[in-house]
């Protein structure tokens, strides 16, 4: 097992599997967050957030996701450092621009920027909801729940800086995904010229949906409030 994980394909496989988890999570997370746009009273978003917070399946998936995220980051750091150590003298510069994208050459930098965003993001919301329990509650349809809408909308209505940081986070994430999504499928064996171009297109569409979807939310609050 350990020799598989240190083999070249094992390393990529591991990054792909943990990456897949995160890609599914993002679609679900975006779906719930978009409820913020359809009901300014907050009822819809509060119901969505409450469902996510109390559903037993989600409760099992959440720690798996957190573990996946941590392993994805640790492994990416390990791969980047071992690659740098294996090649202390840089290769003579060749023009890589023709054969690779900017995102594919800067996955570690993009991942690190996403991590900075994520730490900030967890402190903004998750920490208050799940750790310090400092979010006031509200009654929705006779059920008492945390007013997650007020917490999120409160931040986006009052801070342009945070709105811009969330848009930047969404753009970094989109760039990271343009390469990550495509590369994950390649690693599990979907390759060949036809599949390569199809997957590349699907990856681009997925990345654009995620980047635009997450950016629309702060933009909505900037424009409307
Ligand atoms: C407009 C953008 C976003 C909003 C409004 C938002 C909102 C939230 C909220 C309210 C929570 C706490 C949920 C709970 O614990 O019940 C949360 C958690 C989280 N968010 Fe976001 N989020 C946004 C963008 C992102 C992005 C771009 C990422 C990925 C880079 C992300 C990753 C996470 C993670 C990993 C958690 C902790 C796990 C969880 O609670 O499900 N979020 N987000």
**Beta-carbon contacts of residue 186 (< 8 Å; ≥ 6 apart):** 196, 199
Establish if 180 belongs to a structural domain: yes
pLDDT value, residue 91: 53
Q: How confident is the model at residue 90 (pLDDT cuts 50, 70, 90)?
A: low
The CATH number given to whatever domain includes residue 166 is 1.20.1300.10
State mean pLDDT over 147-162.
98
CA dist 69 and 49 (Å) reads: 21
State mean pLDDT over 117-134.
96
CB of residue 212 inside a 6 A radius of ligand 1: no
pLDDT value, residue 139: 97
Domain hosting 51: range is 2-88+101-224
Q: Over 70: is that where the pLDDT of 96 sits?
A: no
CA dist 213 and 211 (Å) reads: 6
Which region among 45-49, 59-63, 155-159, 204-208 has the lowest average model confidence (pLDDT)? 59-63
Establish if 95 belongs to a structural domain: no
Establish if 81 belongs to a structural domain: yes
The H or E element that residue 142 is part of is none
pLDDT value, residue 37: 98
**CA 192 to ligand 1 center in whole angstroms:** 36
Task: Name the residue at shortest CA distance from atom 6 of ligand 1.
Answer: 33
pLDDT value, residue 186: 72
Which region among 67-71, 87-91, 142-146 has the lowest average model confidence (pLDDT)? 87-91
pLDDT value, residue 192: 73
State mean pLDDT over 151-167.
98
Q: Look-up: residue for tokens 């559903």?
A: 55
State mean pLDDT over 67-96.
76
Establish if 213 belongs to a structural domain: yes
Q: How confident is the model at residue 51 (pLDDT cuts 50, 70, 90)?
A: very high
pLDDT value, residue 191: 65
Establish if 72 belongs to a structural domain: yes
CA dist 81 and 63 (Å) reads: 27
Q: How many domains does the chain have?
A: 1
pLDDT value, residue 71: 86
**CA 143 to ligand 1 center in whole angstroms:** 23
State mean pLDDT over 101-106.
87
Q: Please, are residues 207 and 175 in contact by the beta-carbon 8 Å criterion?
A: yes
Task: Name the residue at shortest CA distance from atom 17 of ligand 1.
Answer: 126
**CA 33 to ligand 1 center in whole angstroms:** 8
**CA 29 to ligand 1 center in whole angstroms:** 7
Q: Over 60: is that where the pLDDT of 92 sits?
A: no
**Beta-carbon contacts of residue 190 (< 8 Å; ≥ 6 apart):** 199
Q: How confident is the model at residue 4 (pLDDT cuts 50, 70, 90)?
A: low
Establish if 26 belongs to a structural domain: yes
Give the atom of ligand 1 at the shortest distance from the alpha carbon of 118: 30
Establish if 48 belongs to a structural domain: yes
pLDDT value, residue 148: 98
pLDDT value, residue 72: 85
Q: For the whole model, what pTM was predicted?
A: 0.90
Give the atom of ligand 1 at the shortest distance from the alpha carbon of 173: 30
pLDDT value, residue 207: 96
Establish if 206 belongs to a structural domain: yes
């Amino acid at each position: 097992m350990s020799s598989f994980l240190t083999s070249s394909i094992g390393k990529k496989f591991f990054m792909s599997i943990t990456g897949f988890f995160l890609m599914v999570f993002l679609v679900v997370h975006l779906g719930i967050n978009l409820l913020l746009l359809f009901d300014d009273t907050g009822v819809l978003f509060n119901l969505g957030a409450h469902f996510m917070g109390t559903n037993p399946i989600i409760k099992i998936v959440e720690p798996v996701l957190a573990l996946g995220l941590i392993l994805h980051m640790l492994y990416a750091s390990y791969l980047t450092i071992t690659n740098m150590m294996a090649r202390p003298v840089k290769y003579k510069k060749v023009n890589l621009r023709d054969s690779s994208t900017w995102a594919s050459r800067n996955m570690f930098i993009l991942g690190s920027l996403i991590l900075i965003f994520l730490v900030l993001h967890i402190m903004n919301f998750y920490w208050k909801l799940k750790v310090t329990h400092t979010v006031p509650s509200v009654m929705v349809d006779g059920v008492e729940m945390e007013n997650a809408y007020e917490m999120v909308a409160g931040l986006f209505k009052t801070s342009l800086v945070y709105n811009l940081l969330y848009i930047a986070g969404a753009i970094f994430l989109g760039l990271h995904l343009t390469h990550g999504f495509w590369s994950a499928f390649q690693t599990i064996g979907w390759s060949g010229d036809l599949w390569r171009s199809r997957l590349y297109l699907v990856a681009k569409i997925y990345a654009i949906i995620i980047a635009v979807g997450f950016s629309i939310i702060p933009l909505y609050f900037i424009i409307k409030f």
